[in-house]
Structure 1
Amino acid sequence: MSTIEFSKAQKDGLVIKLQRYFETELDQDLGQFDADFLLDFFAKEMGAVFYNQGLYDAQAILNDKVADISDAIYEIEKPIDI
């Protein structure tokens, strides 16, 4: 898997969320550099877990839709008298 990369706007928004979390939940100031570094750490070390879970969720949805299509095809089958 390639590395997880964010656009500048996404990264800026995520850094702000990390800083806000540290401030409100941990009563700690997290500087821009530290938040950026922490985000990179999470993406590198844990990103694959979230990515894979997203794939599993998408696959489950796809399987459900394929099952729905199979059911719909079965419903429109014409009877055959042989």
Structure 2
Amino acid sequence: MTLELSREARQQAISSIERYFVEHMDGQKIGNITAGALLGFFLEEIGPVLYNRGVADAQERLQARVAELDIEVHEEEFDYWRKYDKQTKGRR
């Protein structure tokens, strides 16, 4: 699976990579094309790791919610007579 960014996000990421090099690599400048190639490499090589972690996190959250489903939507069974008796006692 190839991870793709929108045009705007890609341009922001490239600008961020260029700035990172200037500020953290002793003022070394990296060109737009080189920054774009580096971004492409990161997306292809490291992107799937982050994507898979996101999927695993989502699965964990969904499984936790499903595990609690019986608590959230549980209905008492054979409850008619208990309710009936309470209503009858309240009228007396």
What's the TM-score bracket when you normalise by the shorter of the two chains?
Answer: 0.7 to 0.9
Residue 61 of structure 1 pairs with residue 61 of structure 2: yes
Question: In 1, distance between residues paired with 2:51 and 2:12?
Answer: 19
Q: Which residue of 1 aligns with 2:4?
A: 5
Question: In 2, distance between residues paired with 1:50 and 1:69?
Answer: 29
Structure label with greater radius of gyration: 2
What amino acid is the match of 1:22? F
Question: In 1, distance between residues paired with 2:64 and 2:24?
Answer: 39
**Alignment CA distance shift 1:42-1:79 (3 Å):** same
1:1-82 → structure 2 map (5 Å cutoff) = 2-27=1-26, 28-74=28-74, 76-78=75-77
Question: In 1, distance between residues paired with 2:10 and 2:22?
Answer: 18
- How many pairs align? 78
CA RMSD between the two structures: 1.7
TM-score by length of structure 1 reads 0.80
What is the CA-CA distance between 1:79 and the residue it aligns to?
5.6
* Identical columns (%): 35
Which ranges of structure 1 fall in alignment gaps of 5 or more residues? none
